[in-house]
Structure 1
C-alpha cells in the first residue's frame, strides 16, 4: 500500500526502498515492544534479541551457515548436472549495490521479520505449546501473513494473487523452518538475522545466472534453480536438526516454557533457568 501510494508521487526506486525499510522497522519494533511490555508484561530479553555486540558472533554464525549450505547446494547441483558454475566475478558496481542493499534489506526484511515471527510469535506460542508444535504453528502463521496481506490488497483493489504460487508457499515453509531452528539451537535472534540477510543477498547478487553476479551460474535444469533457492535451505534444516540432537545442551522438543515476569522468580529459581529459553 505504501509502495502504491509512493509510486503515484514518482519516488525513485531506491528512495522507495529506503522509505519502506524505515517505515517497516519504525512501526514493527515499537509495536512489539509495547505488546511485550504492556500486553504480555514480559521481559524483552525473552525474545532472544541480545545487544548487538554480544550478538555479533551469532550474526556471523548465521552468515557462515548460509555460505556453507549454499556451497553444498552448488556442489550437489553441479554433480547432478542441474547447474554449471560459469565464472567468479568481483564487479565494482555489484559490490556497491550490495553495500547499498544490505542496510535496506536489514531494516525492511531481515530484522523486523525475525523479531516478529521467530522472536515474538514463537516465544508466545512456546509458553503454551511444546517447542516442536510452536515451531510448526509459527511456520503456519508465517505463510498465512503474506496471504492475508495479499487478500486485503485485493479487497481494496490494488493487488493480485499472481505471487501466491505453490513454489512461493514451499519457499516460505522451508525458510520459516530453517530460521526458527536457528533461533532454537542458538537461543539468539542474531543468528536468524545473519542467515536471513545473507540469503537475501545470495539470491539477488551472489549466486545468479548473470555476469553481474559474484558467482555466475547457468541453470541446466529447473532443478538447478530449486537446488539453490530451496535446496540450500533444506540442507540448512538438516544441519540444524543434527546440531540440536548432538549439542551439549540437547533441545527438549516437548518443552513448554512459561514466560514469567522477572520479579516472579525467586532467587533460587533464577539460577536454574534453562539455557534454551524458547
Structure 2
C-alpha cells in the first residue's frame, strides 16, 4: 500500500523517528486532556461556573492546548508534506457532515435491527430536549475530544507513521497510540489536580465503573473506524473523522446515558446486547468508509490505465 494520499512508495525515513513522532502526538493529546480537565475544573470552581458552562470550560482548554501545537509542528512544511487531512476550510463542513451522516445512518440500521429483535427498549422521546442535548453535546464533544484527538492522532500520528510505513501498520500503530491516551491522561490529570489544589481523580485504564478489557476492545474498534473515516475519499478527510467521532459520542450518550444526562431519550439493553450493537454499528461504519476508498481507488486505476486518446467516460456511465 502506498503511504501518501497521492499514491507512490513510502518515504524511507527512520522507523524510530516515525514512531517517536506518533507517540509525541499521543503525548500531546494525553497532556492536553489531563491538564485541560484539571485546569478547567479549577477555573470553573474559581469563577463559579455551573451546568453547561462547567462542561465547556475544560473542553475549550483541551483544544487550546492540543491543536495549535500540532498545527505549528506542520506549519513550515510544503503543502504536499503536510498530510494532516484538514484540507481547505471550505470543504470542512461537507466532510464533517459526511462523517456524521455515515455513522448516524449505520447506527440507525444496526440499532433498528436490535430493537426489532427485542434487544433494546426505548423511552418516550422528548424532541425538544433531545435536539437541545445533541446541539450542546456536539459543541463539547468537538472541543473536548473529537477535534483535539483527531488532530493529534488521526492527523499527526497517522501522517507520521504513513510517511514510513504502509497503511495497515499505520492504522494499527495509530490505534495503539490511541489506546494509550486515556490512561496517560489520568496520570496527568491527577498530577495537575494536586498541583492546583483539587481532588485527584482515580488513575486507570478505563473510566470508573467500566470493565478495562471491554473498554479497550471498544476503543480499539472505534480507533480503527476513525482511521477508516480519516482515509475515506474526498477533501478534508480529517473532518470526516471528526464528524464520525462526534456522531459516535452522541449516539452512545443518548443510548446508554440518556436518562442520566437528561438527553430527552434513552434506551435499555442488556450488557451483551449493548456490546454487540455498539461494536456492530462501528464495524458497519468502517466497512462503508473502506468500501468507498476501495471503489475510489479502482476508479482512479481505470482512468490511469486508459490509453492515450481514449475519451473519458462520463460520470453517469461509470
Answer with 126-135 or 178-187: which moved more. Answer: 178-187
Over 3 Å counting, the alpha-carbon distance change for 1:72 and 1:155 in structure 2 is: same
Asked if structure 1 preserves the Cα contact closer than 8 Å seen for 2:60 and 2:144, the reply is: yes
Q: Distance in 2 between matches of 1:154 and 1:170?
A: 25
- Match runs of 1:218-229 below 5 Å: 218-219=268-269, 221-229=270-278
1:67 equivalent among 104, 115, 128: 104
Q: Distance in 1 between matches of 2:188 and 2:61?
A: 19
TM-score of the superposed pair, with normalisation by structure 2? 0.68
Give 3-state SS (helix, strand or coil) of 2:60's partner. Answer: helix
Two-structure CA RMSD over aligned residues (Å): 2.9
Unaligned runs of 5+ in 1: 252-278
Deviations 1:159-194 (A, max 9, x none): 324562122211210111101111112351111111
Q: Distance in 1 between matches of 2:118 and 2:85?
A: 41
Shift of residue 233, structure 1, vs aligned partner? 1.1
Deviations 1:139-162 (A, max 9, x none): 000001111222344567623245
Answer with 135-144 or 48-57: which moved more. Answer: 48-57
Which residue pairs with 1:171 in the alignment?
218
Give 3-state SS (helix, strand or coil) of 1:249's partner. Answer: helix
Which residue pairs with 1:128 in the alignment?
164
Which residue pairs with 2:254 in the alignment?
205
Q: Distance in 2 between matches of 1:22 and 1:86?
A: 32
- Match runs of 1:74-153 below 5 Å: 74-90=111-127, 92-153=128-189
Q: Distance in 2 between matches of 1:155 and 1:104?
A: 24
Q: Distance in 1 between matches of 2:62 and 2:191?
A: 22
Unaligned runs of 5+ in 2: 1-37, 195-199, 207-211, 300-318
Q: Matched residue pairs, number?
A: 247
Shift of residue 96, structure 1, vs aligned partner? 2.3
Q: Distance in 2 between matches of 1:242 and 1:107?
A: 29
Asked if structure 1 preserves the Cα contact closer than 8 Å seen for 2:254 and 2:266, the reply is: no
TM-score of the superposed pair, with normalisation by structure 1? 0.77
Shift of residue 135, structure 1, vs aligned partner? 0.4
Asked if structure 1 preserves the Cα contact closer than 8 Å seen for 2:95 and 2:239, the reply is: yes
Give 3-state SS (helix, strand or coil) of 1:218's partner. Answer: strand
Over 3 Å counting, the alpha-carbon distance change for 1:223 and 1:250 in structure 2 is: farther
Over 3 Å counting, the alpha-carbon distance change for 1:209 and 1:106 in structure 2 is: closer
Deviations 1:187-217 (A, max 9, x none): 5111111111122222223676649556543
Which residue pairs with 2:309 in the alignment?
none
Tell me, yes or no, if structure 1 residue 51 matches structure 2 residue 88.
yes
